[in-house]
Amino acid sequence: MFPDHQNDVVNTLYALRRNFFLILGVSIVISILAYGIAKKVPGVYEVHFSYMVSMELQDTPSAFRYDGFYALSAADLFSATLASIAISPETIVAMFHRAGISLPTQDATDLGRIVRSKKEASQFVHLTVRDSSKNNAEKLTTALISVMNERIEEYSKKGLSSISFQVIPTQSWTSYSAIKPLPVASSLFMLVFVGGQIVVLFREAIRRGAT
């Protein structure tokens, strides 16, 4: 059995050697194509800003008072509400209308990808507005802050009279993100190169099993 096993190893190595340049060529071609495609994919501008939330207690004859724990809990709940309002479809549509920019889609899921929000802490909400145009991204951010101010004011008026929330937006800043062609091409090269050798090994195993 040992000579047969040795022959199998030799045949497998020969198959890998025979197909090496084919696999290498295909890997190089696919990686070059991936590099070119990734190079042409447009980047996205992201405008980042945050809301800092504070709570102000109003004078009230009520026997109930917000101590530190309840005040922090109330601010935390309001921050979560704020984060949800920012990414709601109606807020995003109002943002586009306020900015004077046509809606890019009528799909609510796609609209939800334009604005992202995350409650980073109990009184801190981070928001990001994305667009392929820097000018549009910044205009949409200004519009979003305006719409959110109206939503916050309406929320405060209809909430408890004993408390009011103060929401302060931070200074926004714009970043640019794009696909990096070289890592994409390198990853695909390795994937195709290794995958091609696995295919050769698999074919050799099937061939040996059939004989």
- pTM, two decimals, is 0.68
How many other CB atoms are there within 10 angstroms of residue 109's CB atom?
8
Q: How far apart are CA 39 and CA 61, in angstroms?
A: 65
Identify the pLDDT of residue 194: 93
Give residue 11's pLDDT. 72
Bigger pLDDT: 8 or 117?
117
Measure the N-to-C terminal CA separation of the chain; round to a whole number of Å: 15
**Residue at token pair 């909430």:** 159
Of 146 and 1, which is predicted with more confidence?
A: 146
Fold (CATH) for 44-177: Alpha-Beta Plaits (3.30.70)
Which parts of the chain fold into alpha helices (H)? 2-40, 68-86, 89-99, 108-112, 134-158, 181-210
Reported as a pLDDT band with limits 50, 70 and 90, residue 77 is confident
Confidence of residue 178 (pLDDT cuts 50, 70, 90): confident
| pLDDT tens string 149-170 | 888 887 767 655 556 677 888 8
**Would you give the distance in Å from CA 77 to the centre of its chain?**
24
pLDDT tens, 114-154? 999 999 888 889 999 999 999 999 999 999 999 998 888 87
State percent of the chain over pLDDT 70: 81
For the chain, the domains span: 2-41+179-210, 44-177
Grade residue 95 by pLDDT with cuts at 50, 70 and 90.
very high
Predicted pLDDT at 69? 62
The tokens describing 129, both together, are: 């507005």
